[in-house]
Structure 1
Amino acid sequence: MSQIATSTTTTFSEIAGKVTEGSRIGRDEARWLWSNASDEELRSLAAMVRGRFHAPATCTYMVMRIINYTNVCVAQCDYCAFYKLPSQDGGYVLSQEDVFAKLDELLALGGDLAAFNGGFNPHLPLSYYCELFAAIRARYGDGLEFYALTIAEFMYLADHAKLSYSEAAARLKDAGVRWITGGGSEILTEEFRARHSKFKYTVAQYFEAQRAIVEAGLKTTATMVIGFDESLEERLEHLERTRQFQDETGGLASFLCWTFKPYFTQIGGIEITTAEYLRHLALCRIYLDNIPRIRTSVLTQNEQALGGLNYGADDFDLPIEDEVTQKAGATISLDFERILNYARELGYTPTYRHVSLGQPPWVEV
C-alpha cells in the first residue's frame, strides 16, 4: 500500500482558492501542483504569495564573493568536486592577507558581502576562525558584511573544539560574526544524507545547530540544492522542515535554492533543466509562506536565473567567485549590467540591496 496520502484537494481552483485567502497549502497540495499545474498556474500562485512581501516589478540584488578559505575536508560528500583530503596534494588554507586581498577586490567591484565556505578541515582550530573574523571586522568595520561559515562547517568546528553549539555561537559572535548561513543543507532528509554525505551531520543535528545560532542572536538563512537523485517526496520534506523551523523561530532571513552542478564529481549525472528549476522555485515560494525573501541562483543558472523573478523569486546575487561550484562546472560573469538587463527586459527594476550596516565606502555622499 502506498505511503503517500491521497489528497482531498484535486483541482487547481481549490488550491488557488486557499492561496488567495491566505491559507497554507500542505504536502498533498504541493504534490498535486508539481504533477498537474501548468507553468502559468504555478507562476500565478507564486506571484500572489510574492506580492504579500514585495511590490510587483521590483527586485533586489547583491554583489558578493564566496571565499573558499580552505579546500581540505574530511566529509567526503560524493557530490563535491572541490575538496582535498588532509593527505592529498593541493590542499590549502588562506592567510588573513589572502582573505583581505579578496575582500579588497570585492569592494572595488562594488560589493559589500562576502561568504566563507570551506570544509571540515581537522587542522584548523577555533582560533583560526575567531582571529580571522575579528580581523575582518576590525579592518572593514560596518562597511562590509560577511557570512561566517555554513551551518555544516559551524557544527564540525563546534565538535572539533569540544563546544556545544551555543558555546561555539557565542565565541564567534564575540569575534564579530553576525551571520552563519544555512549552507550544507542540500536536501534535508536522513535518507539523502545516508546516500551522499554519510560523514555529515543528521538533519536533526542540523536544525539543533541552527536553533542555537538563532538563540545566540545571530542571523541565518535557509538553503536547498536540487538536481541530485532526490525524489519529489524528499524535496517536499525539506520544504516542510524549513517552514516548520521558521514557524518556531522566525530566524530565517531568506531562502536560496540552487541546482547541483555534476561535472567532475563522484556522483556525476546530468544537470536538471532550467524549466524544472523555475517550477521548483515557484513551489518553494508558494509553500514557504513565512519566509519573506526567495532568492534565485545566478551562480548555477547564470542569466537564466532571472526568469525566477516570474516564478516567485525577488532577490539574487551577482557572484564574483565560488571555487566549490566552479570546480563542478559553474561559470561566472563579471558583466553585471548584461545580467541586470535580463531582469529589466522581464519588466523588473533591480535595486542594489546593501547588506553592510555602514555606509559603503564606494558610495558618494
Structure 2
Amino acid sequence: MSRVDILLERVGQGERLSPEQYLTLYLEADLLVLGQAANMVRRRWHKENVITFVIDRNINYTNVCQCGCRFCAFYRRTGDADAYVITENELLQKIAETIQVGGTGVLIQGGLHPDLDLTFFERMLRTIKEHFPGIHVHSFSPPEIAYLAEKSNMDYKQVLARLQRAGLDSLPGGGAEILVDRVRKLISPRKASARVWLDVMRAAHELGMRTTATMMFGHVETPAERIEHMLKIRDLQDETGGFTAFIPWTFQPGRTALGGEPVTAVEYLRLLAISRLVLDNVPNLQVSWVTQGAKVAQVALSFGANDFGSTMLEENVVRAAGVDYRVPMEEIVRCIQDAGFTAVQRTNLYQTVRTF
C-alpha cells in the first residue's frame, strides 16, 4: 500500500492524523478517492440519504466599515455617496418578505461602523422579536462582537449576553477568513486576530449559543495554513461542542484590492473533502453555491457535504465582487434530488421543517 492509501485507511477507521499527514492527503490523494473517504465520514454523521437546506436571508445593516479588508469589495467609508445604515422599516420589510416565502431565519451582518454602539443592536434585536417572535436571528460575526466589546469596554461574553437577552439566537462564522495571523496581517490587518475570533466563539458557546464556522480560501494562504485553520476549529469544538456546521467558500477576487485568480472547481472540491476528514467532530458540512454555482455545489454532495446551505433570498457581499449566482428554492430541491438524495428544509439549528 502507498503512504496515501495507508493514511486513508486510518482515517476510514476514525483515527486522527497529524497536520503533516492531513496535508499529504490534501495534496497527494486522488480527487475521487478523497471524495469517497469524505463521504464515509459524512455517513457516520448522517446515515439517512438526506441533504438539508434553509430558507433565510442575508441582511447587511450597513456597508460602512473601518477595517478596509483587501479582499472585500462591499465596504464603504463614512461619507461615501453610497454608504448606508438600514432603516427600521427596511429591515422589517425584508424580514416580512422572508417569512412570506417560508423563511425561518435571518442572517444580519454589517461592517464595523464607528457610530453604531451596543444599544443600536439591542434595539434592532428587540424590534425584530417584537414584530416577528418566531424568526431565528443568526447574526453578527466575531469581528463585530469584538468591535462592540472594545467600544463598550466589556468582555465578549458580556456583549453576547446582552445581545442574547435582546433576541440574538446564534452566531455565524463570518470574519474567520484564515485563522492564521500571518495571513490576516496581509489581507485584513485591522480586523480581529485569529485568537480573538476563537475567543468570541468560545464565549458564545459558554452561553449556550450555537455557531457556525467558515473559511475563505484561495488568496495568500498556503495549503498547510488551510489545514491549520481547520485544526483550530476542531480543537475548539473538542472543548465546547458549539459549532453546528463548517462552510468553506472561495475568495472572489473581482473588484477587490487583493485581486488574483479565482479558485477552480477541482480545488474547491478537494478542500471540501479534506475538511470533512479533518473536522470529524463538526456534524454538518455546507456547500457554497454562492461562490461555485449550483452545478459544482451538486457535485460537492459527493465530496462529504450534507447541506446545501441557504436559499439566500438576498446576498450583497459576494455580489459586490462580481459573482452573482442565483439559485431559487425549487432549483436547490431539484439539484439535491437529481444527485440521488432526499431534500429537507431545515431551521438554522438543523431541525426539520419539511421534506420534499
**Normalising by structure 1, what TM-score?**
0.92
Does 2:88 correspond to 1:96?
Answer: yes
State the 1:257 CA deviation.
0.9
Q: CA deviation at 1:342?
A: 2.0
| 2: CA distance, partners of 1:98 / 1:160 | 26
- The residue number in structure 2 matching 1:5 is none
Q: Secondary structure of 1:84's partner? A: coil
Inter-CA distance 296–356: structure 2 relative to 1 (3 Å threshold): closer
Q: List per-residue Cα deviations over 1:276-312 (Å, max 9, x = no partner).
A: 1011000000110000001111211120212111000
Structure 2 counterpart of 1:132: 124
Question: Letter of the aligned partner of 1:64 in structure 2?
Answer: D
- 215, 226, 238: which one pairs with 1:235? 226
Q: Give secondary structure in 1 for the equivalent of 2:216.
A: strand
Is the Cα contact below 8 Å between 2:52 and 2:307 reproduced in 1?
yes
| Aligned pairs (5 A) from 1:208-219 | 208-219=199-210
Where do 1:29-108 residues align within 5 Å? Answer: 29-55=21-47, 57-108=49-100
What is the aligned partner in structure 2 of residue 311 from structure 1?
A: 303
TM-score by length of 2: 0.94
Pair 10,161 (structure 1): closer, same or farther in 2 beyond 3 Å:
farther
- Structure 1: how far apart are the matches of 2:51 and 2:201? 28
Q: Which amino acid aligns with 1:341?
A: R
- Tell me the alpha carbon deviations over residues 135-172 of structure 1, each in whole angstroms, 9 at most, x when there is no partner: 11121112x21212111111111111221111101111
For 2:271, the aligned partner's letter is: H
Q: Paired residue for 2:168, among 174, 177, 191?
A: 177
1:343-358 correspondence runs (5 A): 343-355=336-348
| Counterparts of residues 244-259 of structure 1 (less than 5 Å) | 244-259=235-250
Q: Does 1:325 align with 2:282?
A: no
Q: Which runs of 5+ in 1 are unaligned?
A: 1-8
How large is the Cα RMSD of the aligned pairs? Answer: 1.9
CA distance in 2, matches of 1:59, 1:299: 17
Identity among equivalent pairs (%): 33
Q: Out of 281, 292, 308, which is 1:290 matched to?
A: 281
Aligned residue pairs: how many?
352
Runs of 4+ in 1 over 6 A off after TM superposition: 356-360
| Residue 162 (str. 1) matches residue 153 (str. 2) | yes
CA distance in 1, matches of 2:49, 2:351: 28
* Secondary structure of the structure 2 residue equivalent to 1:225: strand
Could you list the runs of 5+ residues in structure 2 that have no partner in the other structure? none
Partner amino acid for 1:291? V
**Distance of aligned partners of 1:288 and 1:106 in 2 relative to their CA distance in 1, 3 Å threshold:** same
Report the alpha carbon displacement of residue 220 of structure 1 after superposing the two structures with TM. Answer: 1.1
Shift of 1:359: 11
